[in-house]
Copies of this chain bind each other. A is one copy, B any other.
Amino acid sequence: MNFEIELENRTKETESVVKAYLPEESGWAKTVIEAMNYSVNVGGKRLRPMLMAETYKLFGGKDKAVEPFMAAIEMIHTYSLVHDDLPAMDNDEYRRGKKTTWVVYGDAMAILAGDGLLNYAFETALTSFEMSGSSVAAKAKALSILAKKAGIHGMIGGQTADIEAEHLGGTVTQEHLLFIHEHKTAALIQAAMMAGAVLAGASDAQVQMIEQAAYEIGIAFQIQDDILDVTSSLETLGKPVGSDARNQKTTYVTLKGIEEASREQKELSAHAIELLAAFEKEGYHNAFLLELIRSLITRDR
């Protein structure tokens, strides 16, 4: 298996699943739907739906019932970026080299597009009830996981703590920062992998292991982000580096120094891979998933 080629193929597959579930741009609500689809089509690594699909495969999932959930988690991830970019929030005009949603469609429509994506995520995931594959109980459980990890005790909680951290300037504690990373970044990765496991019929104990592994992957992923902001270049990263320092933002690197941050990042990712590899003893294999996680954490952009 050539990982790079395989990654490209699976990214395309994931992309086509996500796009198949986007709403049609027609009717009186056409503008908000255009804004929603624009936001999703700006692109990205499609990491969350890919992790969901691969965890689903790890536990032997073979049906299409996972697909509406894959689209749903990408919609949730996207809505959070659309609202984050608003002038009232981070006031970002570009994302992945393209104009952000509010710049193209205006603030009001961007607020509605974010709301529309969040709502449509649940609407989409709920269509799984009409599909074969996975039990009704598994679908209801996957939905609950998605809702919890995206909400005030998950991603929205992390965003709240992040906004409050900005007001604190340089006095953010490690506990506070870990809460932000766990909730703003790791929670949706947990949701993706846990929902994939649940839909494939994994046991509660297995889902718990996945929750822990996904937590470690999420934190390691975020620490890598903080490291790259210091060590990378505009050319490699595709966005300006050093923004954390300019914004006097407390990061894992400012708190612990780059060497210690890097050491902890490696420790977390090694442990996450160990947890996932341990499923092999129970007969569950997915070599691509392990490679994918290794690549995330050693990535240079």
A residues neighboring B (CB under 8 Å): 23, 27-29, 31-33, 36, 79, 83, 86-89, 107-109, 111-112, 114-116, 118-120, 122-123, 126-127, 129, 136-137, 140, 143-144, 147-148, 150-153, 156-161, 163-164, 176, 179, 183
Most B CB within 10 A of own CB, among A126, A129, A148, A152: A152
5 A/B residue pairs, CB under 8 Å, sorted by A:
A28-B179, A112-B163, A116-B156, A123-B151, A126-B143
Once the chains are docked, how many angstroms separate the CA of A19 from the CA of B87? 32
Most B CB within 10 A of own CB, among A27, A88, A164: A88
Contact across chains for B129 and A160 when beta carbons are under 8 A apart: no
Copies of this chain assembled into the complex: 2
Contact across chains for A114 and B115 when beta carbons are under 8 A apart: yes
Least Cβ–Cβ distance between A232 and chain B, in angstroms = 28
Contacts A109-B160, A126-B147, A163-B108; is A23 near B140 (CB within 8 Å)?
A: no
- B contact residues around A115 at 8 Å (CB): 79, 83, 114-115, 118, 156
Least Cβ–Cβ distance between A49 and chain B, in angstroms = 19
- B contact residues around A152 at 8 Å (CB): 23, 29, 32-33, 36, 116, 119-120
Please give me the 6 A-B residue pairs with the lowest Cβ-Cβ distance, nearest first: A29-B157, A88-B107, A32-B160, A123-B147, A119-B151, A28-B161
Contact across chains for A156 and B32 when beta carbons are under 8 A apart: yes
- B contact residues around A116 at 8 Å (CB): 151-152, 156
CB-based nearest B residue for A29: B157
Most B CB within 10 A of own CB, among A29, A116, A126, A136: A29
Contact across chains for A140 and B148 when beta carbons are under 8 A apart: no
Least Cβ–Cβ distance between A176 and chain B, in angstroms = 7
Contact across chains for A157 and B126 when beta carbons are under 8 A apart: no
| Other A-B pairs, 11, CB within 8 Å; known A28-B176, A31-B164 | A28-B164, A29-B152, A29-B158, A32-B152, A32-B157, A83-B115, A86-B88, A108-B163, A109-B160, A111-B111, A120-B151
